[in-house]
Structures are given as structure tokens and as C-alpha cells.
Amino acid sequence: MIHAQFDPTARQLLAAAAVEAKTRKDLSWQQIADASCLSVAFTTAAVLGQHALPEDAAKAVADLLGLDADAALLLTTVPTRGSIPGAIPTDPTIYRFYEMLQVYGTTLKALVHEEFGDGIISAINFRLDVKKVADPEGGERAVITLDGKYLPTKPF
């Protein structure tokens, strides 16, 4: 049976314990994802409390991190999503995404609606990828791909 959380506290505490175990064991998010047999983005989001893991993946992640059966069970529950408390994030990396949406949010909306019509881009039927690439002008660039299914508004 699928169970859902109504209070994010348990998942937040589990996320803190999981990150501590990850650090203590000197594991990468990719190594944890390899154990789960899921993508690194989905697995990371799940361990940080934003997704539920399938039972076999939850057990594999808990085993790798040295977490108990209760933690594995909690990893399978549907979380209360939302990882940024307050109106404006203060972490510099997260703030830059907020800033990008402040600058380009209306542009993205205009372009999406012009291309697809009235509707939304799903964050449920969704893929995320982060890559580091060389910048031709020197240094490195971050390539972030947000790939969500388009869901048109249906009149009723």
C-alpha cells in the first residue's frame, strides 16, 4: 500500500541523516543512484525528501547508507514536497535559480504558451539532467536540462 506524509519533518530528519551517512562513507550522489538503479537527479531528490523511492530502491539506498529498515520504509512514502522555506531562498546556488526565474520566468511562459498553447509543463512526468561542459571562452559551463511533459488545459 502507498502511504503519504502530511508533515515534512520526518523526511527532513531522514534527509539530514542520509547526507551525514553519504559524507561519512564518502559516497557520491551517482554511487547512491547506481544502488537505486534510478537516475541521479531522481534519487538525489528522493533522498533529500522530494520523491518516494520504489521499495527495492529504498532498501538498496538504505543499505548502502547504513540506514535502518524504518528509514527504508520512510523513503517509500509520498513526501510533502517543497524544499525551500520562505519566499526568497538565501542559499546562493538556489537563489540563482530563483533569480533566473525572476528574469526569464515570463519569457519561458510566453514561449511555452506560444509553442504549445494553454497548459503547464509537468514536474511529475519530468526528467532533470545536470552536466558540466567546457566553456569555449575558458572555464566551465553548467548545462541544465528540464524535460517535462506538456499538459494542455482541458475545457470542461
Catalytic residues: 96, 99, 122
Integer Cα distance of 64 and 41 in angstroms: 18
Dihedral, 120, 123, 39, 22 alpha carbons, nearest 10 = 150
All residues at 6 or more sequence positions from 12 whose CB lies less than 8 Å from its CB, including other chains = 49
Place of cell 527532513: 12
**Backbone angles phi and psi of 119, in degrees to 5:** 165, -165
Place of cell 531562498: 89
For residue 151, what is the enclosing H or E element?
strand 140-152
